[in-house]
């Protein structure tokens, strides 16, 4: 019943940096630096968050599962960790950095040469409890998609007034976001 | 109060084909050919729909506004027009075709050399009533974003089970879509 296929996950993870690069690089700041209101993120912030996750979440947690199993819960994740990550950088720099750290992490993942039985290994999430390595890696890919979903929504928000009566037809403008803490 | 800036719109419209290309080309069919259930679209279908819109919606309607103003309502739009558009084609062919027709349409848009007063010109939508050329062009860009939002959601849906307990944290998996007829 496990739908997870590691090659499919890697295929997607490989493409996200180029996707965001094609969408965002040199785009006017109206699209990239504006957010959806107080305490929300811009597309720029999202790229910073993705970099922060590369450094502190996915591969570090995968290594905790492989080394300690369920005995050592993952450390807490700082949802505002991108703030220091973004400090003093341009969007172009963040896009370059995301591509680099993602590529390094995928090289490390491939080098683990994970077998099906490895994917069943269990770790402990501090809030969610027991999780498998398979679930962690699938989440890495789905997390890229959740932020692509968010970026398209943040950007569309900037045209909420400009589209006039068409706002009723544009699904993305009906999406209020679905973030969990 | 009109937030619409034509250069910003063109900047975004220019990038969408390369964005979808970076995300989807040569990606395993798990991601590109599966949908969200009966009567829903796959990422492949969405690219076909975007091509169909290039041919029948945006620039054709812009020309109706410029030529006839409010006197001639736009024709109806076929939401399933992509079916014939996609027939017998690979995703790679559709991505190539989308890039080509988008590029042609943007060349045509630029050649119109629209001035601010042109953007205020009014046309008639069969259901929405009076709309401006500015609103039509802003909607062209926001429509790209609504389908990028949809594609990320369709793709994430394929990993709904694979992510295990993380599904509670992934906003895109809480999104049920927001399509209007």
Read off the pLDDT of each residue in B129-137 and give the average, rounded to a whole number.
Answer: 98
- Please list every residue in chain B whose beta carbon sits closer than 8 Å to the beta carbon of residue A132: 164
Q: Do A170 and B3 touch (CB under 8 A)?
A: no
Task: Judge whether residue B1 has pLDDT over 50.
Answer: no
**What span, in angstroms and rounded, lies between the C-alpha atoms of A2 and A137?**
13
A164 interaction partners in chain B (CB closer than 8 Å): 131-132, 134-135, 138-139
**Which member of B125, B138, B166 has the closest CB to residue A135?**
B166
Residues in chain B: 181
Interface test with A, best of B33, B41, B167, B171 (most A CBs within 10 A): B171
Chain A: nearest CA to B84, how far in angstroms?
23
Percent with pLDDT over 90 in chain B: 87
Per residue in B66-111, pLDDT tens?
A: 999 999 999 888 888 888 889 999 999 999 999 999 999 999 999 9
Whole-number pLDDT of residue B3: 59
pLDDT digits (tens, 9 = 90+) for A99-148: 999 999 999 999 999 999 999 999 999 999 999 999 999 999 999 999 99
On whether ipTM exceeds 0.90, the answer is yes
- Of the pLDDT bands very low, low, confident and very high (cuts 50, 70, 90), residue B181 is very low
- A89-98 pLDDT, tens digit per residue, is 999 999 999 9
pLDDT class of A3 with cuts at 50, 70, 90: low
Cα distance between residue B154 and residue B148, in whole Å: 10
Please tell me whether residue A153 adopts helix, strand or coil conformation. Answer: helix
Chain A neighbors of B175, CB-CB under 8 A: 149, 175, 178
A81 or A125, which is more confident:
A125
Res. A45: pLDDT tops 50: yes
Q: Give me the sign of the Cα torsion angle A41, A45, A49, A50.
A: positive
* A165 neighbourhood in chain B, CB within 8 Å: 125, 128-129, 131, 135
Give B21→chain A minimum CA distance, Å.
Answer: 8
Q: Are the Cβ atoms of B22 and A18 closer than 8 angstroms?
A: yes
Cβ contacts of A155 on chain B, cutoff 8 Å: 12, 145
Alpha helices in chain A (DSSP H): 6-24, 29-32, 43-56, 58-68, 82-86, 91-111, 116-119, 133-157, 171-174
């Amino acid at each position: 019943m496990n739908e997870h296929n590691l090659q499919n996950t890697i295929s997607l993870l490989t493409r996200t940096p180029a996707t965001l690069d094609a969408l965002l690089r040199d785009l006017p700041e109206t699209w990239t630096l504006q957010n959806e209101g107080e305490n929300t993120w811009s597309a720029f912030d999202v790229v910073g968050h993705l970099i922060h996750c590369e450094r502190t979440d996915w591969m570090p947690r995968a290594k905790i599962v492989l080394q300690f199993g369920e005995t050592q819960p993952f450390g807490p994740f700082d949802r505002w960790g991108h703030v220091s990550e973004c400090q003093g950088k341009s969007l172009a720099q963040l896009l370059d950095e995301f591509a680099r750290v993602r590529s390094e992490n995928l090289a490390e993942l491939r080098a683990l040469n994970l077998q099906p039985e490895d994917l069943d290994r269990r770790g402990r999430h501090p809030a969610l409890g027991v999780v498998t390595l398979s679930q962690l890696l699938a989440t890495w890919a789905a997390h890229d998609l959740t932020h692509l979903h968010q970026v398209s929504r943040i950007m569309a928000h900037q045209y909420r007034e400009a589209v006039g009566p068409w706002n009723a037809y544009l699904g993305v403008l009906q999406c209020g976001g679905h973030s969990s803490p």
